Amino acid sequence: MKAIIVDDERLARQELKSMLSAYKDIEIIAECANALEAKDKINTLKPDVVFLDIQMPGKNGLELAQELEPLPELVFITAHDEYALRAFEVNALDYLLKPIQTERLAEAVKKLNEKEEQTPKEYRSTLHEDDQVFLKDGDRCWFVKLSEIRLFESEGNYVRVYFENNKPLILRSLNNLEQRLHPDSFFRASRKHIINLKWIENIETWFNGGLMVKLKGGEKVEISRRQAIRLKDMMSL
């Protein structure tokens, strides 16, 4: 599991790196002292998890998280608990208070491992639109062709799946789903949405160079400027 540590305090980075050395399945691939450096490293190295300090000079960790697409797993770290609710609003996996306690770090790592294990390795091959998937929400179950699913929407640690008139919640991360879905059919519109390209009804230009997509099921999804450029490149002649 590839990890990046982001903290403006060098000693804090060293301490966390030392604590994480106890976990052999976590590889620290970079350390960053500010949001600008971190954004570049995250986009280039594509880590599985980012241990992210909230309070930093310039852009803080929460603001950085809102700019990341796709969004890696995030474990926020701060000396103040006033940011806890906002941290989970950007789909944080966990939230650790400084000084970091060994037991709490162990809990965060356990959550990371559980996320990794939710999809067994033998089933991590790419899924195509003709493949059927099994969905379960409470007592209800479905076998659904991927071609019938028009939208995946992240809600905290869950993903809401839109097909026909159904919208079940499944315990998955949008990042894991993106890795399995074939890019010819499914497009990461934002950090919260993956859309089925064949369900697009129309597209309008939107604010700041973005796009607004309306799906045939009626849902509207805003596509950020960066992802809009990618979509135009993909779909243009």
- At 122 the pLDDT is 41
Average of per-residue pLDDT across 161-179? 90
pLDDT in tens, 43-70: 888 898 999 999 999 999 999 988 887 7
**DSSP notation for the chain:** -EEEEE-S-HHHHHHHHHHHTT-TT-EEEEEESSHHHHHHHHHHH--SEEEEES--SSS-HHHHHTT-SSPPEEEEEES-GGGHHHHHHTT-SEEEESSPPHHHHHHHHHHHHHHHHTS-GGG-SPB-TT-EEEEEETTEEEEEEGGGEEEEEEETTEEEEEETTB--EES--HHHHHHHB-TTTEEE-SSSEEEEGGGEEEEEE-GGG-EEEEETTS-EEEE-HHHHHHHHHHH--
Average of per-residue pLDDT across 186-209? 92
Q: Domains plus CATH for the chain?
A: 2-117 (3.40.50.2300), 122-235 (2.40.50.1020)
pLDDT in tens, 111-135: 998 877 764 544 446 788 888 888 8
Residue 217: pLDDT band with limits 50, 70, 90 = very high
- At 35 the pLDDT is 95
Average of per-residue pLDDT across 27-50? 93
